[in-house]
Chain A
């Protein structure tokens, strides 16, 4: 899952200075497979000019000499985009967490939190599309003459931009995919205008029960909440995936609590039993909604579907 990976990687410096037992693990998600949205599936590749030059998310200009036929995708959202762009046959490797669509699971694996450079090279990849990974492995891949595109969408706007960028990079009609995503998002926004705004707490991870990871401004989850007529109680925080003290969660009094960590075993009953949570409106009204992190925690081509889910949650909140 993209966001877990990100929050864990962010902890690495903290690790090095601590006495602790290092390493960051990223348990992927255990959710069920869902079909790709019809809009995304209908996008057809269009002829494009190669060599193609694109600017990736790190501002780096990358030239792809010929139409990529052996693509390695690192990051579940990137994998979903590539499938949605009709590149299913051209993907030769994905990361351990790419489980959507189902066909992604049968691709060769190139690693989890760390990318196995040897594996990527042995797959004779001619394009690597990856989330930002700072351990130097992407540089080593690029040093082998393989074009590496860092594609690391954070907000909703980044996601549509990704569609266009990847379309150009692989010679497919990314603009059409971006358009259909945008149409879906706009439709949700229009419907949300008629819904009364609700205060939302979106729980990303509560492993440390006194400091809960949530989604803040800059993240697509925050964008989804606002788009679907919610008021994110973490709107005042400064980072995309901040930790909110449990005191702040309680005093912000959300009207609905969305459990993005449901697939990690967090249940509604557990939340009801947390010390001090009984004063929260959402808890009083039993308005605690587990969601499929597979869908909701990925800035991928199914964002409109995620936005729709959010709208239903907010509209269904008393």
Chain B
């Protein structure tokens, strides 16, 4: 496991400053462009000038309402989800010194979905703005449990974390499935909960988006603040400790940030794979391993990716919408494999 950690750090110690700057500028420019594109496309065709008019105050009527109250909030939600997942992936990969870590393998996403489903089942209609909070609570609980389980009997190793994560994911999946199937007999009024979990980006109210944005902001700021301490983890936890990092507190803080980010992503979009895994991978060679910059780049890159994926989900089979996870899987899977092949070649 250490070898893997070293590999990350050594193979891309710190990219040349020119490339780093160019990457960040590109990402910063790409995000608004992606947002603009995604706002222009949708189930209902609205001419670009009318979209612009609706965005900048003018324009009444149905078109303006669709753009202002539906499309733009959804695009913003997609950006938040993508950014959150990518930053969460970065944090976990740094903490575990393992390139395969993302909120899925650590049980974080599964815990988030469990929190979500429980609130939907028992919370009633008034609870919907708090779905991000429920997802966060579930994610935090699941992550804590995984770390506790993995830490039993001494040192927490990557392997035990991943194992515990897999087990917890199955458990949460079992509970969700049980609630769905038993919904009728328990009078839970859970209907197509599946659509909630794999359906894609959707927001139920303006309040939900505001709460989600606040949580994500908190998570990203925490990630950036924790960056330098995570850098010290590159050569292992002991090394970090000898460098003066309070590893226990750092671990707790990182996990809390991951739960904030991944939980919110689950609340807004259900289970979306690959973004948390692929985006940090793709960007690490370009911006280098130091986490402060990487987290920032990943937020921008992840946001752009998911905004595009969500636009794709709306466009590919229009008017039928695809679950956004289909797009991220179809694009992210091959991309990740290609990245893997290239990295292996370089390593030989």
Contacts and interface: CB of A to CB of B under 8 A. Distances in A.
Interface of A: 4, 7-8, 11, 14-15, 17-28, 30, 96-97, 112-113, 205, 207-211, 213, 237, 242-248, 250-251, 253, 261, 264-265, 267, 270, 273-276, 278-279
B271 A20 contact: yes
Given A27-B190, A245-B321, A208 B180 contact: no
B184 interface: yes
Most chain B beta-carbon neighbours within 10 Å: one of A26, A28, A211, A274? A211
Interface residues of B, number: 60
B70 A208 contact: no
B44 A210 contact: no
Given A27-B190, A251-B63, 15 more contacts: A11-B194, A15-B198, A18-B198, A19-B273, A21-B113, A25-B183, A211-B321, A245-B44, A245-B321, A250-B66, A251-B62, A264-B191, A267-B125, A273-B205, A276-B70
B201 A23 contact: no
Contacts of B183: 25-27
A75 to B, nearest CB: 15
Contacts of B62: 250-251, 253, 279
Interface string B199-211: 1111111100000
Contacts of A19: 104, 271, 273, 325
B69 A207 contact: no
Nearest to B113: A21
A245 B314 contact: yes
Given A23-B180, A27-B184, A265-B124, A18 B66 contact: no
A244 B199 CA distance: 13
A207 B196 contact: yes
Nearest to A236: B319
A30 to B, nearest CB: 6
> What 5 pairs across the A-B complex have the smallest Cβ distances?
A25-B180, A21-B173, A245-B43, A276-B69, A210-B202
B193 interface: yes
B194 A20 contact: yes
Interface in B288-321: 314, 319-321
A213 B202 contact: no
Given A25-B184, A245-B42, A275-B73, A210 B200 contact: yes
A208 B184 contact: no
B286 interface: no
Given A7-B192, A210-B74, A245-B42, A276 B177 contact: no
18 contacts: A7-B192, A18-B323, A20-B197, A21-B173, A21-B197, A23-B180, A25-B184, A26-B183, A27-B190, A97-B184, A211-B195, A237-B319, A243-B321, A248-B43, A248-B44, A250-B44, A274-B205, A276-B69
